[in-house]
Structure 1
């Protein structure tokens, strides 16, 4: 394991200019400054270490890296997937209330992996981008939509579409060849790179994606209480800053895509309610399949967001 006072840090993102990576770099700088160098970190971008995106939490638990941002943690701590169920969380207020419920379960889930949960940042809402005209949910029928999770796949299937799972690097070619007809992503996410293939955007808020910020438990425990406190505070502050930066970039990219000719259709409250009603049975099925704890947490979340 790397020396506790000189941490190896890792992020799944391979692009240094994203808000997420810039925030991780600010965390490293602030920690070094506030601890007078007692704790320093060197951030490695995605794919620069031999760690698969799905293995980041395990790598932190094993001490291969000491500190990381992990977007693909659900295989290790699946309770966190509750916050990404389709049509469950529709706005900031819902998110804050639901997250307050789920946070202790996240902390426990990571602790079981030898990992200390520090915080998170959230991506913009995932909406629908297509190469066909879309004005309602009915237009998804018989179309193939790229998704990034089984939960997103359930949404697509609920309206007669076929979910397709592809890596981000495969998406442009798949759109060009007609393998897929659209994607679930954000204006500041995949659409930033793929907008030329996606002339239509339907602004239905399907779900949120979020990344956790975590540390190896032994490495964290080796720090002084003052350093631990500083790290917790800095991560909390930067988590909010990264989330806010994504919100700003979402509006910037959406406007730029409209100016470039993208047709953007705002969704009606009636259509949101229709989507919610269609997916709410799936929430219960999902929780029942996962087990009693998931059912209990889902009920707590539903109560918190007044559903």
Structure 2
């Protein structure tokens, strides 16, 4: 009976609305499927309900707040809000070692990408602890970052000499190694840049490009994951996390893994197939009206050349910036999983 009463008291303390904690949460791009289908329902419905009233969540997104994408985790570190999520590549100016989370062309399926992310997670946790005073709660994918072009291309070689918007620093270096010019253009500014000839091509997720209307200003789609999977990291301010009870920490950790991460990853592979169908008309489009972009088939030679550029140029350059310790950790974790090694 004593044990029962103790357990009941603990449960009541966790679930009582009178003791509810408020969480301010900043989500990723509000217009994209990851936020609409997974982030928003989890934070506004699933988690508050699972807490039995112990958590009240106020959710917005960084674009609704007009935040610079590079400021999202900096402000999280300062405790301006409690939880934030955005693309890890947006933070590499502050943490170059974070580029090792989402390396182009080492994961070609959702299962491979999940294995890569799981291997990288201890490194990511250390980076967020040290750089952004935060604790990692989840890592979820955007679909693979493919190439939209407002120019006639037939393969990877045709990117040489073109101006291409990259989705991250490593992708920009990758493009430059292929002979293209990597250009830094904000996601929201890409349609105008493509239409006005400021850039010839741009890299983003197929679904993101469909949702944002890039098919209106581009003609050719090259479905090679030059930008990786654009991992979105969800993190909570470390001071806020450490102030929570162990019961509440466990609840958040378990629920975000089961009700946010798992379904987001489960949908990732089918999302790519569906998004390509929506952009090109090659297959059924569950998201709406199919478009008629030209689908450029990726050849074995394209993959071979891209992988050679990655191993011989891009990864060694990253290792030099991040440092030998991070390169060694990457080799022993991500590299071991994907079969790629920096330094031979």
User: Secondary structure at 2:206's aligned position in 1?
Assistant: coil
> What do the CA deviations read for 1:123-149 (whole angstroms, capped 9, x no partner)?
111112212222222111211111122
The aligned residue for residue 113 of structure 2 is 95
Once the two structures are superposed, the pairs formed by residues 209-288 of structure 1 within 5 Å of their partners are: 209-237=230-258, 238-259=260-281, 260-281=291-312, 282-288=314-320
> What's the offset of the Cα at 1:195?
0.5
Hey, what's the Cα distance between the residues in 2 that align with 1:58 and 1:261? 41
TM-score normalized with structure 1 length: 0.90
> What do the CA deviations read for 1:18-59 (whole angstroms, capped 9, x no partner)?
332442222222221122111221101224436432122222
The aligned residue for residue 75 of structure 1 is 93
User: Are the structure 2 counterparts of residues 215 and 21 from structure 1 closer, same or farther at C-alpha, using a change threshold of 3 Å?
Assistant: farther
Q: CA RMSD in A?
A: 2.2
The aligned residue for residue 27 of structure 1 is 42
Hey, what's the Cα distance between the residues in 1 that align with 2:111 and 2:80? 37
CA contact (8 A) 1:146 1:180 kept: yes
The aligned residue for residue 37 of structure 1 is 53
What is the aligned counterpart of 1:18 among 23, 28, 33? 33
User: Are the structure 2 counterparts of residues 222 and 4 from structure 1 closer, same or farther at C-alpha, using a change threshold of 3 Å?
Assistant: farther
> What do the CA deviations read for 1:144-183 (whole angstroms, capped 9, x no partner)?
1111222111221122211111112221221122111111
User: Are the structure 2 counterparts of residues 278 and 31 from structure 1 closer, same or farther at C-alpha, using a change threshold of 3 Å?
Assistant: same
1:197 corresponds to 2:217: yes
CA contact (8 A) 1:4 1:222 kept: no
Gaps (5+ residues) in structure 2?
Answer: 1-18, 282-290
The aligned residue for residue 4 of structure 2 is none
1:155 corresponds to 2:174: yes
The aligned residue for residue 288 of structure 2 is none
Hey, what's the Cα distance between the residues in 2 that align with 1:101 and 1:249? 23
Q: How many residues align structurally?
A: 304
Gaps (5+ residues) in structure 1?
Answer: none
User: RCO greater where, 1 or 2, for CA within 8 Å and sep 6 or more?
Assistant: 1
CA contact (8 A) 2:106 2:338 kept: no
